[in-house]
Amino acid sequence: MIEFQNVTKIYPNQNRAALENVDLTIEKGEFVFLVGPSGSGKSSFLRLALREEKPSNGRILVAGKDLARLPNYKVPHLRRRIGCVFQDFRLLPNKSVYQNVAFALEVIGKPRRFIKRVVPEVIDLVGLEGKHDRMPTELSGGEQQRVAMARAFVNRPQILLADEPTGNIDPATSIGIMKVLDRINRTGTTVVMATHDAAIVDSMRKRVIELEYGKIVRDQVRGVYGQAY
C-alpha cells in the first residue's frame, strides 16, 4: 500500500537529510506506529506519502501509484484515497461537527444525497452520536479529534495517516481515540500513526518502525516503544 524504495529527502538549505535511504513496505490493512524523537523524520515520511513534498532520491509508491510519475493534476485524486489526522485537529471553527465532516465531501463534489447518508454514519462510528450540531469550541480536545477522524475517514480512504493524533490529548482520552483508529483499521484501512506516546504503542502491540536522524533503526512486527525513552 505504501512502499518507500531507498528514499532520501534533503530540504533546501539543509545539509542533513530529513530521511536517508529509507526502504520499507507497508501492506494493505496494516497498523503501523512510526516512532522516534522530534526531527527524526516522522513528519517528512508522512508529507512524502501525501506528495506534499517530493523525495530528493528514491521511489515512492502509494496505493499503487508511483508518485514521481503522478502529474500535478492527479495529486488530488491520490489524496482522496488518503485520510489525514493531525495533532492540532484542523477543524473549521465556524462550522458545526456535521458541516466539518460534510465539507470534505462537498469539496470533492459528492452529491448531497450521498453526503446526507454517509456523514451521520461516520459521526456515529467515531462515537459522536447526538453531537452533529455542536461547534468545535463546544467540544473537548478528544471530541474534536474524533471529528477530525470522521472527516478523514468519511470518504473511505485506503490509507489513514495520523501525525501525533494524541499529542494534545490526555492519556485517558487517548485510549478512546486509539479505539476509533483501531475500528477504522478493522474496516481494512491501512493506518500509519506517528507518535511519541510510549504507553499507547506498548499497549497496542502493532508493528513499530523507529526512525532516528532520518534512518530506520528498528522495524518490529509486534513491537513496543523502546527502552531508551
Partner 1 sequence: MRSNFVFQEIWIGLRRNLTMTVALIVVVAISLSLLGTGLLFIKQVSSTRTYWQSKVEISIYLCTADSANPNCHGEYTQAQYDQINQTLTSMKGRQVQDVFFQNHDQAYAQFKQFFANDQAYVSTVKANDIPASFEVKLVNPQRDYNIVYSAVNGAAGVDLVVNEMTILDKFYKLLDGLRNAVVIVALILVVAAVLLVSNTIRLSAFNRRRETGIMRLVGASNLYIQMPFLLEGVIAGLLGWVLATGLLIGVKSLLLNNLQQYFSYNVGLSTGDLVQVIVLAMCVGVLLCGVTSFVTLRRYLRV
Using CB under 8 A, list all residues that contact partner 1.
50, 72-73, 75-82, 84, 90, 92, 103-104, 106-109, 112, 151-152, 155
Q: How far is CA 134 from CA 61, 147, 156, 173, 174, in A?
A: 39, 11, 23, 19, 21
d(CA 98, CA 26) in angstroms, rounded, equals 32
With respect to partner 1, which residue has the nearer C-beta, 88 or 129?
88
At closest approach, how far in Å is the CB of 93 from partner 1? Answer: 8
At closest approach, how far in Å is the CB of 84 from partner 1? Answer: 5
Strands 159-163 and 190-195: parallel
Taking alpha carbons only, the member of 224, 168, 175 closest to residue 198 is 224
Are residues 59 and 7 in contact, defined by beta-carbon separation less than 8 angstroms? yes
At closest approach, how far in Å is the CB of 185 from partner 1? Answer: 20
With respect to partner 1, which residue has the nearer C-beta, 155 or 173?
155
With respect to partner 1, which residue has the nearer C-beta, 19 or 104?
104
Q: What is the DSSP letter of 17?
A: -
The interaxial angle of helices 141-153 and 171-186, nearest 10 deg, is 10
With respect to partner 1, which residue has the nearer C-beta, 149 or 200?
149
With respect to partner 1, which residue has the nearer C-beta, 160 or 208?
160
Taking alpha carbons only, the member of 147, 160, 16 closest to residue 83 is 160
d(CA 3, CA 5) in angstroms, rounded, equals 6
Q: What is the DSSP letter of 45?
A: H
With respect to partner 1, which residue has the nearer C-beta, 24 or 78?
78
At closest approach, how far in Å is the CB of 1 from partner 1? Answer: 17
At closest approach, how far in Å is the CB of 179 from partner 1? Answer: 23
At closest approach, how far in Å is the CB of 99 from partner 1? Answer: 11
